[in-house]
Amino acid sequence: MAKASANTELCKGCRLCVDACPKQAIIPLETVNKKGYEIISIDQGKCIGCGICYKMCPDYVFTVE
For the chain, domains (ranges, CATH) are 4-64 (3.30.70.20)
Model pTM score = 0.92
Instruction: Provide the pLDDT for residue 1.
Output: 80
* Per-residue pLDDT tens digits for 1-48: 899 999 999 999 999 999 999 999 999 999 999 999 999 999 999 999
d(CA 48, CA 36): 29
Q: Which amino acid is at 53?
A: C
Count of residues for the chain? 65
